């Protein structure tokens, strides 16, 4: 069986890994577009605190989070995953009561969140925080490096025989894949493996238009661009980009490896990574396909971040990132078969690093004609 996967973000990479592990001949194609969400994602894995009234969303994120420890051992490399815990903070302790009730309600079915406790002095765990905050500690929350997850999945898929091609893919009305390759070789393949991969096999030259990638089934995991890709098939799926701008800083001389994730009831979150790296994010903007860092966006993130954690005033800005979260306007996420030959898996919005590897697993099951590991009816395509 041959499967083409369009998009090598966290979803497509996971699908390719699962399929190649089953002996399927997999070709992954990616256009290395600016604004790939997986490149910008903060890395918070804490599903229990959101979607109080949306069970479908909650279940997908919870199941994704639950599988991370197994994913870490299966990949056998450092993907930045650590159970650092989360501090849910508020100025007025009353604001924390609804979230406490939600966590207590969910705890019996999700004991992996750990036992929730009150924290009298949050700055003892996250020193730059301002005084006077109340906090609840959720010890099971984790952070992960989205880029590292994606690259590790791709490396493992290639090791299992998957082929990775750089270029822009379009679907034809019969569910075929046309690929326009980039003139300067295959940079993505080199960066993920360190060396050029094997010569592509499953493709046929189709004149000037590009090459046709031969496949029995196609998985569209093209993130915010999935609607564009599916248009060639004659199917409209309302997937749109939601921009997020985020700042990486360094608190020189301070080890931030084990700092907890800080989640205020509104406004920006903070989390630490190994070394002295600290992440402040993110904006939530419906700005179309405009993957740019803006002065207003960075100002918004930094101003709110400093109000929450004035101790970051002297932190050094290391880089800014911007990504386009894929949002499915017609429902929750979109994981479904569009035709006999085409599966789509996208729309993970702000939870794609949490649910992405699991969503790729579901897409792989659909491509193989197997039953998915959870009921996916809440994520079905709703014709517009
Ligand atoms: C600022 C920010 C913070 C976030 N923080 C978190 C967080 O803390 N926790 C969490 O769980 N989630 C978070 N997310 C969400 C998460 O990053 C996304 O939901 C997830 O990365 C989406 O993955 P994806 O594979 O669907 O899409 P993408 O990563 O965007 O991948 C899609 C891929 O498809 C390729 N592509 C598109 N069209 C074509 C085409 N025609 N031909 C070939 N290739 C194509 C693109 O180049 C791209 O590589 C955050 C997102 C942002 C932007």
- The CATH number of residue 339's host domain is 3.50.50.60
> Looking at residue 353, what is its pLDDT?
98
Instruction: Identify whether residues 10 and 36 lie together within a single domain.
Output: yes
> Which residue minimizes the CA distance to atom 31 of ligand 1?
9
Instruction: Identify whether residues 186 and 321 lie together within a single domain.
Output: no
Instruction: Identify whether residues 10 and 128 lie together within a single domain.
Output: no
- pLDDT tens, residue by residue, 302-322: 999 999 999 999 999 999 999
> Looking at residue 382, what is its pLDDT?
86
CA 202 – ligand 1 centroid, Å:
26
- Residue 346 in contact with ligand 1 by CB distance below 6 A: yes
Q: DSSP of 120-189, one letter per residue?
A: S-GGGTSTTSPTT-EEEEETT-EE--HHHHHHHHHHHHHHTT-EEEEEEEEE-TTS-EEEEE-TT--HHH
Instruction: Identify whether residues 233 and 192 lie together within a single domain.
Output: yes
36 CA closest ligand 1 atom index: 30
Instruction: Identify whether residues 107 and 165 lie together within a single domain.
Output: no
- Residue 164 in contact with ligand 1 by CB distance below 6 A: no
**Which domain covers residue 124, as residue numbers?**
84-142+240-328
> Looking at residue 196, what is its pLDDT?
40
- Residue 350 in contact with ligand 1 by CB distance below 6 A: yes
> Which residue minimizes the CA distance to atom 1 of ligand 1?
244
Sort strands 210-213 and 177-181 into parallel, antiparallel or unpaired.
antiparallel
Q: DSSP of 278-293, one letter per residue?
A: EEEE---B---S----
Distance CA 303, CA 319 (A): 16
Is 73 contained in some domain? Answer: no
Q: How many CB atoms lie within 10 A of CB 331?
A: 16
Is 49 contained in some domain? Answer: no
CB 39 within 8 A of CB 147: yes
- Residue 166 in contact with ligand 1 by CB distance below 6 A: no
Is 76 contained in some domain? Answer: no
> Looking at residue 383, what is its pLDDT?
83
Q: What is the domain count for the chain?
A: 2
Is 222 contained in some domain? Answer: yes
Residue 240 backbone dihedrals phi, psi, to 5 degrees:
-130, 160
Is 322 contained in some domain? Answer: yes
Highest mean pLDDT among 174-178, 266-270, 272-276: 272-276
> Looking at residue 188, what is its pLDDT?
40
- pLDDT tens, residue by residue, 33-53: 999 999 999 999 999 999 999
- pLDDT tens, residue by residue, 75-125: 999 999 999 999 999 999 999 999 999 999 999 999 999 999 999 999 999
Instruction: Identify whether residues 226 and 260 lie together within a single domain.
Output: no
Instruction: Identify whether residues 153 and 219 lie together within a single domain.
Output: yes
Strands (E), 11-125: 25-30, 44-45, 86-90, 117-119
282 preceded by a cis bond (ω within 30 of 0): yes
> Looking at residue 194, what is its pLDDT?
39
- pLDDT tens, residue by residue, 4-30: 999 999 999 999 999 999 999 999 999
- Residue 326 in contact with ligand 1 by CB distance below 6 A: yes
**Domain end among 306, 328, 350:** 328
- pLDDT tens, residue by residue, 197-225: 444 445 555 555 588 999 999 999 999 99
- Under the banding of pLDDT at 50, 70 and 90, the label for residue 189 is very low
Distance CA 259, CA 315 (A): 15
- The CATH number of residue 267's host domain is 3.30.9.10
> Looking at residue 266, what is its pLDDT?
85
pLDDT at 281 over 60: yes
Q: Please indicate whether residue 203 or residue 69 has the higher confidence score (pLDDT).
A: 69
Instruction: Identify whether residues 94 and 159 lie together within a single domain.
Output: no
> Looking at residue 323, what is its pLDDT?
98
352 CA closest ligand 1 atom index: 19
Instruction: Identify whether residues 222 and 249 lie together within a single domain.
Output: no
Instruction: Identify whether residues 114 and 133 lie together within a single domain.
Output: yes
7 CA closest ligand 1 atom index: 34
Is 51 contained in some domain? Answer: no
Residue among 8, 30, 41 to mutate when testing ligand 1 (max atoms within 8 A of CB): 41
Instruction: Identify whether residues 128 and 227 lie together within a single domain.
Output: no
Instruction: Identify whether residues 164 and 138 lie together within a single domain.
Output: no
Q: Which residues contact 137 (CB under 8 A, 6 or more apart)?
A: 85, 86, 87, 88, 116, 117, 118, 119, 125, 260
- Residue 289 in contact with ligand 1 by CB distance below 6 A: no
pTM: 0.95
- Residue 35 in contact with ligand 1 by CB distance below 6 A: no
Is 47 contained in some domain? Answer: no
Residue 249 backbone dihedrals phi, psi, to 5 degrees:
-130, 165
Q: If you average pLDDT over residues 137-153, what whole number do you get? A: 98
Place of tokens 């009305």: 173
Q: Please indicate whether residue 197 or residue 274 has the higher confidence score (pLDDT).
A: 274
CB 165 within 8 A of CB 348: no
**Domain end among 290, 310, 328:** 328
């Amino acid at each position: 069986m041959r499967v083409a996967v369009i998009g090598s973000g966290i979803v497509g990479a996971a699908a390719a890994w699962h399929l190649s592990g089953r002996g399927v001949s997999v070709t992954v194609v990616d256009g290395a577009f600016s604004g790939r969400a997986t490149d910008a994602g903060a890395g918070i894995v804490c599903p229990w605190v959101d979607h109080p009234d949306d069970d479908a969303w909650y279940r997908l994120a919870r199941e994704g989070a639950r599988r991370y420890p197994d994913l870490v051992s299966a990949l056998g490399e450092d993907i930045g995953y650590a159970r650092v815990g989360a501090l849910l903070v508020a100025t007025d302790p009353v604001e924390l009561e609804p979230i406490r009730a939600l966590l207590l309600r969910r705890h019996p079915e999700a004991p992996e969140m750990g036992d929730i406790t009150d924290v009298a002095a949050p700055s003892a765990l996250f020193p730059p925080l301002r005084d006077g905050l109340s906090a609840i500690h959720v010890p099971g929350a984790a952070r992960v490096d989205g880029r590292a997850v994606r690259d590790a999945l791709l490396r493992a898929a290639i090791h299992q025989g998957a082929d990775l091609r750089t270029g822009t893919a379009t679907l034809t009305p019969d569910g075929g894949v046309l690929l326009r390759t980039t003139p300067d070789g295959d940079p993505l393949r080199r960066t993920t493996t360190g060396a050029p991969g094997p010569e592509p096999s499953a493709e046929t030259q189709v004149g000037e238009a590009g090459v046709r990638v031969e496949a029995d089934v196609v998985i569209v995991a093209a993130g915010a661009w999935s609607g564009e890709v599916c248009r060639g098939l004659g199917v409209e799926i309302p997937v749109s980009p939601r921009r997020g701008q985020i700042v990486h800083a360094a608190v020189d001389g301070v080890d931030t490896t084990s700092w907890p994730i800080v989640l205020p009831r509104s406004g920006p979150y903070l989390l630490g990574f190994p070394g002295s790296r600290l992440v402040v994010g993110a904006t939530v903007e419906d700005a179309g396909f405009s993957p740019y860092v803006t002065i207003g966006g960075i100002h918004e993130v930094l101003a709110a971040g400093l109000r929450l954690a004035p101790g970051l005033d002297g932190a050094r800005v290391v880089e800014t990132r911007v990504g386009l979260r894929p949002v499915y306007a017609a429902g929750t996420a979109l994981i479904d078969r569009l035709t006999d030959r085409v599966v789509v898996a996208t729309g993970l919005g702000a939870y794609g690093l949490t649910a992405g590897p699991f969503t790729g697993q579901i897409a792989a099951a659909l491509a193989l004609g197997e039953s998915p590991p959870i009921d996916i009816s809440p994520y079905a395509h709703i014709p517009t």
